[in-house]
Amino acid sequence: MATLFIADLHLSNEEPAITAGFLRLLQGEARSADALYILGDLFEAWIGDDDPNPLHATVAAAIKALVDSGVPCYFIHGNRDFLVGLRYARQSGMTLLPAEKVLTLYGKRMLIMHGDTLCTDDVGYQRFRARVQQRWLQMLFLALPLFVRQRIAAKMRAGSKASNQTKSETIMDVNSQAVIDAMTQHHVQHLIHGHTHRPAIHDLEIGNQPARRYVLGAWHHEGSMVKVSEHGIELLFFPY
């Protein structure tokens, strides 16, 4: 048995192959897992649980089928889908988790998160994140008509894409000290996250003890997961 972690699928109507690959995972390997954790950016964008996009209903039904089969599914918000709410969580059977969560699995203590809060060198993004995470602003946005939210989201995505093209690769990656601080704060030797789209396993030293950071890949060209079992922690890639 094993516990699976995925992130950064960025599901959208424009990428049906990725959706199909995710559905195959839910109907295949995930059925024999102890649990599935989705560490953010499951969707390319999310403007509210009331969005009638058929893709959302399809994904919710597939996750609910997994949960009903006896495999719990947990979700941490990403920077693209931070507005996923309780309504969609109930529809899909997912359990919403806080931005940072400590787990003890098969004798290993680990911290899981989306990963964007570790990119502290990207000051502009962190300022933006602080604004949009304000509950009153989220409630105001969700109260707007759906077509207005769609226009705002499209404008924000275009602005984000243009901004990222001018940023250095270093700025958009995690800050090493932020990683150490997070792991030290939570007293863990293992960290699993996504967001940066730079899949790798990084060896670290935390408190004079060996530690590791596992970075999930985005599903742009192939699937990516971290599998945790009694045999260890693996970063795996597979065609979707």
Strand order across the 2-6 sheet: 95-96, 73-75, 35-38, 2-6, 223-229, 232-238
pLDDT for 207 equals: 85
Kindly list the distances between the CA atom of residue 175 and the CA atoms of 13, 112, 162, in Å, as whole numbers in the listed order: 33, 16, 22
**Confidence check: pLDDT of 25 > 80:** yes
Q: What is the pLDDT of residue 157?
A: 81
Q: How far apart are CA 58 and CA 76, in angstroms?
A: 20
Indicate if the pLDDT at residue 137 is higher than 90.
Answer: yes
> What's this model's pTM, rounded to 2 decimal places?
0.95
pLDDT tens digits for range 95-118? 999 999 999 999 999 999 999 999
Q: Please determine, for residue 135, whether its predicted confidence score (pLDDT) is greater than 80.
A: yes
Average confidence (pLDDT) over 195-214:
95
pLDDT digits (tens, 9 = 90+) for 175-187: 999 999 999 999 9
43 pLDDT higher than 80: yes
Q: What integer is the mean pLDDT of 6-19?
A: 97
The pLDDT tens digits of the residues spanning 63-99 come to 999 999 999 999 999 999 999 999 999 999 999 999 9
